[in-house]
């Protein structure tokens, strides 16, 4: 009897000890993921973000938690979403989807580390003091490269050389003006007129295409912008309906039927965002991490869209594409 009682006591104690041990374990770090877009439309980039975390030793649900906050394209929601993450006392905020989310995060805290992706110049936007030495609680990865606008125009000219070309830009994107200036400079060299179409809401897209048709623009350059990504199916559908030869700033447009895209590799940008976020979790300070600049670009063609538009792709141009999708 005494042996049985001792065994029960021993087993009971063995069960109790791990419970006490678990209670003493430090809580897992929490990443606040703040984005201007939606979970569905940015799922592939979230996957790249997780890849970057995993490469640096963090797996969601195992040794790190992620609190997602999506603005669903409504930038006015960002300040409250950022404030909510601060109240949650997250370990670090990872901001994506343009400059508005990181500005909202910056306004919400000057102590919680912030790692961002942005298509705007972070120095001109006042986010960091310099790219090499951010000197604040903020660092990140920029996707903005000024010359991509002129590069897109030169690639578009391989297919069409109209007297007037149009560019779709979002006035709310601080990097948009610089890209328009780059395109304008290139258009002047080519002797083309550049029609600037502005859209800050989805309803503006219809008006932009109406103006494009009225002005007889023979080609369209769509800038990189998180809002445009959210509206990509509508933009691509209108371009197809009106037989507009278009080149886009992000491959997401090609994936839904757009003709072609040239720009930075956003999966790579978000992978780097994950790596930098993990480095902050490991104890590195944003002030000591230089802002990273793009190193990988991609030129993607939708062959089916080219056939529907009746656009002939020369062998020379075809050799330049990094990827051709059917």
176 and 63 in a single domain? The answer is: no
103 and 230 in a single domain? The answer is: no
In a domain, 280, yes or no: yes
Confidence at residue 253, expressed as pLDDT on a 0 to 100 scale: 96
In a domain, 207, yes or no: yes
**Average pLDDT score, the chain:** 89
85 and 222 in a single domain? The answer is: no
Whether 8 shows a pLDDT value over 50: the answer reads no
Spell out the alpha helix ranges (H) of the chain: 2-24, 43-55, 78-87, 99-108, 148-156, 176-190, 202-214, 226-230, 232-241, 252-255, 266-281, 303-309, 315-318
138 and 225 in a single domain? The answer is: no
8/255: higher pLDDT = 255
Model confidence band, residue 21 (pLDDT cutoffs 50, 70, 90): very low
In a domain, 249, yes or no: yes
Q: Provide DSSP, 227-296.
A: HHHHTHHHHHHHHHHTT--EEESSTHHHHTT-SEEEEE-HHHHHHHHHHHHHHHHTT--GGGSPPB----
In a domain, 21, yes or no: no
16/291: higher pLDDT = 291
Confidence at residue 120, expressed as pLDDT on a 0 to 100 scale: 77
In a domain, 14, yes or no: no
Model confidence band, residue 16 (pLDDT cutoffs 50, 70, 90): very low
Average pLDDT over residues 186-211: 95
175 and 227 in a single domain? The answer is: yes
196 and 317 in a single domain? The answer is: yes
217 and 257 in a single domain? The answer is: yes
193 and 311 in a single domain? The answer is: yes
Confidence at residue 226, expressed as pLDDT on a 0 to 100 scale: 79
232: which residues sit within 8 A by CB, 6+ positions away? 248, 252, 253, 256, 258
Average pLDDT over residues 258-281: 95
Whether 270 shows a pLDDT value over 50: the answer reads yes
312 and 204 in a single domain? The answer is: yes
Average pLDDT over residues 104-112: 96
Average pLDDT over residues 282-305: 94
Domain containing residue 136: 30-144+266-296
Model confidence band, residue 98 (pLDDT cutoffs 50, 70, 90): confident
- Percent pLDDT > 70 in the chain is 90
Whether 243 shows a pLDDT value over 70: the answer reads yes
Distances 169 to 7, 27, 137, 224, 236 between C-alpha atoms, Å: 75, 44, 30, 8, 15
118 and 174 in a single domain? The answer is: no
The number of domains in the chain is 2
Whether 4 shows a pLDDT value over 60: the answer reads no
In a domain, 89, yes or no: yes
Model confidence band, residue 26 (pLDDT cutoffs 50, 70, 90): low
Model confidence band, residue 179 (pLDDT cutoffs 50, 70, 90): confident
Q: Provide DSSP, 59-84.
A: -BTTTBEEEEEE-TT-GGGHHHHHHH
Average pLDDT over residues 29-40: 94
Whether 2 shows a pLDDT value over 80: the answer reads no
242 and 182 in a single domain? The answer is: yes
Give 70-96 pLDDT, tens digit per residue. 998 888 999 999 999 999 999 999 999
In a domain, 130, yes or no: yes
Average pLDDT over residues 228-243: 95
163 and 308 in a single domain? The answer is: yes
Q: What are phi and psi of 125, to 5 degrees?
A: -80, -10
- Percent pLDDT > 90 in the chain is 69
In a domain, 185, yes or no: yes
The CATH number of whichever domain residue 252 belongs to comes to: 3.40.50.2300
147/201: higher pLDDT = 201
Confidence at residue 273, expressed as pLDDT on a 0 to 100 scale: 97
Model confidence band, residue 140 (pLDDT cutoffs 50, 70, 90): very high
């Amino acid at each position: 009897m005494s042996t049985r009682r001792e065994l029960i006591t021993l087993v009971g104690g063995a069960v109790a000890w791990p419970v006490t041990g678990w209670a003493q374990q430090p809580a897992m770090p929490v990443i606040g993921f703040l984005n201007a877009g939606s979970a569905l439309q940015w799922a592939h980039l979230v996957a790249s973000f997780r890849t970057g975390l995993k490469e640096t030793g963090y797996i969601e649900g195992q040794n790190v938690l992620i609190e997602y906050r999506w603005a669903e394209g409504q930038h006015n929601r960002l300040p409250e979403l950022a404030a909510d993450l601060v109240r949650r006392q997250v370990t670090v905020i990872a901001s994506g989807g343009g400059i508005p989310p990181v500005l909202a995060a910056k306004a919400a805290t000057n102590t919680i580390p912030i790692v961002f992706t942005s298509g705007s110049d972070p120095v001109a936007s006042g986010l960091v003091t310099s790219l090499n030495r951010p000197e604040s609680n903020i660092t990140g990865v920029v996707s903005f490269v000024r010359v991509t606008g002129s590069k897109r125009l030169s690639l578009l000219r391989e297919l069409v050389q109209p007297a007037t070309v149009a560019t779709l830009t979002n006035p709310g994107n601080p990097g948009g003006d610089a890209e328009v200036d780059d395109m304008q400079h290139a258009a002047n060299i080519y002797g083309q007129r550049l029609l600037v179409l502005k859209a800050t809401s989805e309803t503006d897209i219809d008006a932009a295409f109406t103006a494009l048709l009225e002005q007889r623009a023979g080609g369209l350059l769509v800038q990189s912008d998180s809002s445009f990504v959210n509206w990509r199916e509508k933009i691509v559908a209108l371009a197809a309906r009106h037989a507009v030869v278009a080149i886009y700033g992000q491959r997401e447009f090609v994936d839904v039927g757009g003709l072609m895209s040239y720009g930075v590799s956003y999966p790579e940008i978000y992978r780097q965002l994950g790596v930098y976020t993990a480095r902050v979790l490991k104890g590195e300070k944003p002030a000591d991490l230089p802002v990273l600049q793009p190193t990988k670009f991609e030129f993607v063609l939708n062959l089916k869209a080219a056939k529907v538009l009746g656009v002939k792709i020369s062998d020379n141009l075809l050799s330049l594409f990094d990827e051709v999708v059917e």
